[in-house]
DNA sequence: GCCGTTTTCGGCCCGACTGTTTTCAGTCG
């Protein structure tokens, strides 16, 4: 798969072009960055796109025109790219590595090369150690310090953090701001509000006229490790959890504009802003303005979208995946909401197990958050590390469920189920008879992740065709950050699921979120139902459902496609069919 | 270099903060 290689190359070309002083160069920079974004976020291998559809297929991709498509073709055919090599000869430095450092961009990197011979991270380290940078023209003590700090940061904490780890911290800070009495409103914006599975930083917006007091309060919070930048409208800090966090304090008249601006991803905002321009307005982070510069008095971001003639959509959809165009035509269907979820279709609950709570506390916790039912789906015998049960043990366990259901007296219903291992050959880890006695069976792959694609596909499809499973658990097997999805032909899985009336799971564990948003978009082209499961092993983990719902919303999934939006009688009818 | 129910040419989103300056360049989002 060349996607990452090519995306990196195009980003590096963009960095090198940003050193070019021709007036049109900065637009070329943007073009290359956009192409890198497109290719980097594609699911399908770019070389497959090319193999199947040739240049025409490449030109279909957003931000890819004749020039860049030509470079892609050249790279696929020859393994080289003339444009890249030409620029690399002019700027023989590790642009990707150096500009990966916070505060160090292409121009400064090149200045370091010209003056000090810095060409990569190791030579940069030497220059830092010799304190040569501060003496350069255009640099100073502070810039040297900043580069050193940026380098330390990079080495300490590479990359992004799971939404499930970051969002609760952000929401805690918002809570503290609200309780301070200094703000009239506050919220988490940015990629966390869009429920992206990982976030690179946090954006918090506060509505207040007392910016200096709010900033002072903010930098005193215990979550904060150090201050990166402090200004009247924006303060940037490093949090102890290893993530940067920006707080913006915004007065009332600009708040709606800021919420809109700091929620959508960059491309979404560009699309919306272009619509604003086409209607004679200007849209920026302060709000919507007419030609005379008069602000449109929006109370909420809904007002702004309405004024622009764009159907309002939830944050999760604002990713520039075609939502703006549809919303202009009022054709966007609203996705499922957390309150639509009536039950949980993947949970664990066992006595005498270190990593799992017992069934009764699990049932009480589920009841407390308002669920009407949940499927108890414990592991099966092949999964020894999780105390997987055999047929006999399930039989006994179900007697326990019957008793507990009686005791719960209809306040919540526990469905009998299992998360049955799909074994190497596609057979299932329990006897047919046992599986047939269950209400709800999740079939999951937990072993031999390195099978060839064809074999893995056959394995899962065979399980789907067994007629014994209700849904495929975490269908791609990925676990963030370390484990990639196993190789599997998902289209074949979707086809089999469609024709065998088997659902696909959206596993809501923050490190799984599997299927993910783009998988869901692809899968929902088929006539498939989806099941959401928290995969809770402990009582607080029922709350993971919100991440599953967020992922479903990012995949534009409507509630009628999701089994656990049904109430209990409907689910029981569905199951019996 | 890309793109088009305003255009196949002439546009391309926009502002905050910092550091090193004395009006601005670089970086970031």
Q: Which residue approaches B10 most closely, CA to C1'? A: A24
Q: Which two tokens stand for residue A50?
A: 């090319």
A103 touches strand B (CB under 7 A): yes
- pLDDT beyond 90 at A250: yes
DSSP codes of every residue in A450-514:
T--HHHHHHHHHHHHHTT--SEESSTT--BTTTBPPPP--HHHHHHHHHHHT-EEEEE--TTT-B
Measured CA to C1', what is the nucleotide nearest A109?
B26
What is the pLDDT, as a whole number, of residue A38?
80
B24 C1' – A36 CA distance, angstroms?
30
Q: What is the pLDDT of residues A174-225, one digit of tens each?
A: 999 999 999 999 999 999 999 999 998 999 999 999 999 999 999 999 888 8
CA–CA distance, A247 with A189 (Å, rounded to integer): 10
Q: Do A162 and A198 touch, CB atoms closer than 8 A?
A: yes
Higher pLDDT, A517 or A100: A517
Whose structure tokens read 């911290």? A169
Residue A130: exposed, middle, or buried by beta-carbon count in 10 A (0-12, 13-18, 19+)? Answer: exposed
- pLDDT beyond 70 at A156: no
CA–CA distance, A427 with A453 (Å, rounded to integer): 17
What is the pLDDT, as a whole number, of residue A326?
93
Parallel, antiparallel, or unpaired for β A224-230 and A440-444? unpaired
Higher pLDDT, A488 or A152: A488
Give the pLDDT mean for A119-134: 88
* Mean pLDDT value across chain A: 90
Give the pLDDT mean for A15-19: 89
Strand B near-CB residues (< 7 Å), A 515-574:
none
For residue A325, the surrounding DSSP H or E stretch is helix A323-328
CA–CA distance, A564 with A577 (Å, rounded to integer): 15
Q: What is the pLDDT of residues A34-91, one digit of tens each?
A: 888 888 767 677 888 898 889 999 998 888 999 999 999 999 999 899 999 999 998 9
What is the pLDDT, as a whole number, of residue A68?
93
- pLDDT beyond 60 at A157: no
Question: Where does the pLDDT of residue A162 fall: very low under 50, low under 70, confident under 90, or very high at 90 and above?
Answer: confident
- pLDDT beyond 60 at A430: yes
Measured CA to C1', what is the nucleotide nearest A67?
B1
Return the sign of the alpha-carbon dihedral for residues A191, A197, A200, A202: positive
What is the pLDDT, as a whole number, of residue A43?
65
Q: Terminus-to-terminus CA distance in chain A, angstroms?
A: 42
CA–CA distance, A327 with A338 (Å, rounded to integer): 22
B8 C1' – A65 CA distance, angstroms?
14
What is the pLDDT, as a whole number, of residue A21?
81
What's A51-95 look like in SS3? HHHHHHHHHHCCCCCHHHHHHHHHHHHHCCCHHHHHHHHHCCCCH
Q: Do A247 and A230 touch, CB atoms closer than 8 A?
A: no
What is the pLDDT, as a whole number, of residue A540?
84
- pLDDT beyond 90 at A160: no
Picking from A366, A301, A367, the residue whose alpha carbon sits closest to that of residue A539 is: A366
Give the pLDDT mean for A236-250: 89
What is the pLDDT, as a whole number, of residue A22?
80
Q: What is the pLDDT of residues A277-305, one digit of tens each?
A: 889 899 999 999 988 889 999 999 999 99
CA–CA distance, A146 with A142 (Å, rounded to integer): 6
Domains along chain A?
3-91 (1.10.150.110), 338-576 (3.20.20.140)
Q: Which residue approaches B13 most closely, CA to C1'? A: A270
Q: How many other CB atoms are there within 10 angstroms of residue A206's CB atom?
A: 27
What is the pLDDT, as a whole number, of residue A41?
66
Q: What is the pLDDT of residues A378-412, one digit of tens each?
A: 999 888 767 789 999 999 999 999 999 999 999 99
Q: What percent of chain A has pLDDT over 90?
A: 62
A237 touches strand B (CB under 7 A): no
Measured CA to C1', what is the nucleotide nearest A139?
B20
What is the pLDDT, as a whole number, of residue A268?
92
Those residues with Cβ within 8 angstroms of residue A34's Cβ, 6 or more apart along the chain or in another chain: A62, A63
A211 touches strand B (CB under 7 A): no
Q: What is the pLDDT of residues A223-237, one digit of tens each?
A: 888 888 898 899 999
Those residues with Cβ within 8 angstroms of residue A433's Cβ, 6 or more apart along the chain or in another chain: A391
What is the pLDDT, as a whole number, of residue A219?
93
Parallel, antiparallel, or unpaired for β A287-289 and A282-284? antiparallel
- pLDDT beyond 90 at A552: yes
What is the pLDDT, as a whole number, of residue A482?
56
Give the pLDDT mean for A163-184: 92
Higher pLDDT, A551 or A30: A551
- pLDDT beyond 80 at A354: no
Nucleotides, chain B, CB distance < 7 Å: 1-3, 6, 11-21, 25-29
- pLDDT beyond 80 at A133: yes
Q: Which two tokens stand for residue A361?
A: 């506390």
């Amino acid at each position: 798969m060349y996607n990452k290689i090519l995306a990196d190359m195009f980003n590096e070309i963009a960095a090198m072009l940003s050193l070019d002083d021709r007036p049109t160069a900065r637009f070329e920079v943007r073009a290359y960055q956009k192409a890198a974004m497109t290719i980097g976020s594609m699911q399908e291998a770019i070389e497959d796109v090319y193999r199947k559809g040739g240049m025409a297929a490449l030109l279909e991709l957003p931000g890819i025109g004749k020039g860049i498509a030509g470079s892609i073709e050249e790279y696929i055919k020859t393994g080289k790219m003339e444009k890249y090599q030409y620029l690399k000869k002019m700027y023989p430095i590790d642009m990707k590595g150096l500009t990966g450092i916070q505060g160090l961009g292409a121009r400064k990197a090149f200045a370091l090369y010209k003056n000090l011979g810095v060409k990569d991270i190791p030579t940069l380290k030497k220059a830092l150690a010799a304190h040569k940078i501060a003496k350069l023209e255009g640099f100073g003590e502070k810039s040297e310090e900043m580069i050193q700090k940026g380098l330390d940061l990079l080495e300490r904490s590479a990359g992004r953090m799971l939404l499930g780890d970051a969002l609760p911290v952000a929401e805690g800070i918002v809570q503290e701001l609200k309780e301070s009495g200094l703000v009239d409103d506050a919220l988490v914006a940015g990629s966390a509000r869009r429920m992206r599975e990982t976030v690179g930083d946090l954006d918090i917006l506060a509505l207040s006229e007392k910016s200096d007091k709010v900033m002072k309060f903010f930098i005193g919070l215990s979550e904060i490790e150090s201050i990166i930048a402090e200004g009247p409208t924006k303060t940037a800090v490093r949090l102890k959890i290893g993530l940067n966090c920006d707080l913006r304090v915004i007065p009332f008249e600009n708040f709606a504009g800021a919420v809109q601006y700091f929620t959508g991803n960059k491309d979404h905002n560009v699309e919306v802003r272009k619509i604003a321009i086409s209607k004679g307005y200007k849209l920026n982070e302060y709000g919507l303005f007419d030609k005379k510069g008069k602000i449109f008095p929006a109370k909420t971001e809904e007002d702004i979208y309405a004024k622009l003639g764009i159907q309002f959509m939830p944050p999760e959809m604002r990713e520039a995946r075609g939502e703006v165009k549809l919303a202009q035509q009022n054709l966007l269907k609203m996705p499922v909401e957390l309150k639509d979820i009536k039950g949980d279709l993947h949970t664990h609950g066992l006595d005498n197990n270190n990593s799992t709570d017992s069934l009764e506390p699990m049932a009480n916790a589920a009841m407390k958050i308002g669920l009407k039912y949940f499927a108890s789906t414990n592991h099966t015998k092949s999964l020894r590390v999780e105390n997987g049960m055999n047929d006999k043990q399930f039989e006994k366990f179900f007697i326990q469920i019957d008793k507990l259901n009686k005791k719960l007296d209809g306040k919540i219903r526990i469905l009998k189920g299992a998360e049955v291992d799909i074994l190497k050959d596609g057979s299932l880890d329990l006897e047919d008879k046992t599986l047939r006695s269950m209400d709800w069976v999740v079939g999951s792959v937990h072993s031999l992740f390195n099978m060839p694609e064809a074999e893995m596909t056959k394995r899962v499809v065979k399980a789907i065709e067994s007629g014994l499973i209700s849904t495929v658990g975490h269908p791609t097997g990925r676990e963030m950050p370390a484990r990639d999805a196993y190789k599997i032909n998902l289209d074949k899985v979707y086809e089999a699921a469609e024709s065998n009336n088997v659902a696909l799971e959206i596993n809501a564990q923050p490190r799984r979120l599997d299927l993910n948003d783009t998988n869901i978009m692809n899968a929902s082209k088929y006539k498939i139902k989806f099941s959401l499961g928290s995969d809770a092993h402990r009582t607080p983990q029922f709350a993971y459902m919100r991440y599953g719902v967020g992922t479903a919303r990012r995949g534009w999934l409507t509630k009628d496609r999701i089994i656990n939006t049904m109430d209990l009688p409907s689910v029981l009818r569905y199951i019996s069919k």
